[in-house]
Amino acid sequence: MADNLFNAVYNPDVLSCLANLSNDEVFTPPDVVNKMLDMLPQELFQNPDTTFLDPACKTGVFLREIAKRLITGLEAQMPELQERIDHIFHKQLYAIAITELTSLLSRRGVYCSKYPQSEFSITQFEDAEGNIRYRKVQHKWKDGKCVYCGASKSDYERGVEQEAYAYEWIHTVKPEELFHMRFDVIISNPPYQLGSNDDRSTSRDKPIYNLFVNQAKKLKPRYMVMIIPSRWMASGLGLTEFRQEMLSDKHIRSLTDYPVAGNVFSGVEIKGGVCYFLWDRDNTGHCMVTSIRDNEVVGPVTRD
């Protein structure tokens, strides 16, 4: 029964459709997720102790695709399917949803039920959250700006009935205390920016994906894989320091750049394109860089 339920629910076509819904918080297509997972050492998916975290969960697609690899990779060690599923979802996969809505969507996509303590969940938890948490946090204002993410108080000080976009992952100084554990792999497609309603001609949307990357580094995971806009390569609003950090970071071992974001996210325009990269805590050196535009692939080439 567990085998039939798993095969019935884990269908990538559903999330491929969802990937085209949003231009602000872009949902990630399953094929892109798997390209990102291919950057990791594949023996990670044969180790029952490997832990994974998505700190900006929207649909649960990262956890879902990781689960599929673990279910195959751990079969020899755990022949019984339900035992394997229980171990993977309880001990290896974790996420922080970016909104209450995406928490429900993610639990539905990962556990086959938005309430993982219910009889319909593919694995039983004792609460309605499972390992996909969501907390409604608030911005902390100082001089009209949030001290954590830089959001404008005039734009984002809202009533409790409205979404404040105060993402939990970047609104804490101690991210390790969210789950009270460390992770082998942090992998995500974080929110890219905070919009502004300011009418001034100098007003621009504020990038925040850099905050997600920097916060992940604080946890010192063995590996980090993230897909972010490529605009950081040319600096930009509030990204000068981040650009210098990225260019001098010898832990970034592989980077794939798409100058046209539509080649990754169908129907979505992101100026400057997007890229995903592999950050390796225990190995430093040159970076293998690949550029893909339409059907033309340049690289990989070795860069400093």
Cα–Cα distances (Å) from 300 to 19, 165, 289, 297, 303, in that order, read 27, 37, 5, 8, 9
What pLDDT, on a 0 to 100 scale, did the predictor assign at position 161? 67
Residue type, 6: F
Residue 8 has pLDDT above 50, yes or no: no
Q: How confident is the model at residue 197 (pLDDT cuts 50, 70, 90)?
A: low
pLDDT (tens digit per residue) in 55-113: 999 999 999 999 999 999 999 999 999 999 999 999 999 999 998 889 999 999 999 98
Q: Can you tell me the mean pLDDT for 216-236?
A: 92
pLDDT (tens digit, 9 = 90+) per residue, 12-39? Answer: 344 444 444 434 567 889 999 999 999 9
Residue type, 287: C
pLDDT of residue 115: 87
Q: Which residue has the tokens 């996420």?
A: 95
CA end-to-end span of the chain? 51
Strand partners, 141: 146
Which tokens in the block code for residue 110?
Answer: 């990962």
Beta carbons of 89 and 74 less than 8 angstroms apart: no
**Residue-level pLDDT at 162:** 75
Q: Does pLDDT of 182 surpass 50?
A: yes
Mean pLDDT, residues 273-278:
96
Residue 35's pLDDT is: 96
The one-letter amino acid at 169: W
Query: The whole model's pTM is what?
Result: 0.88
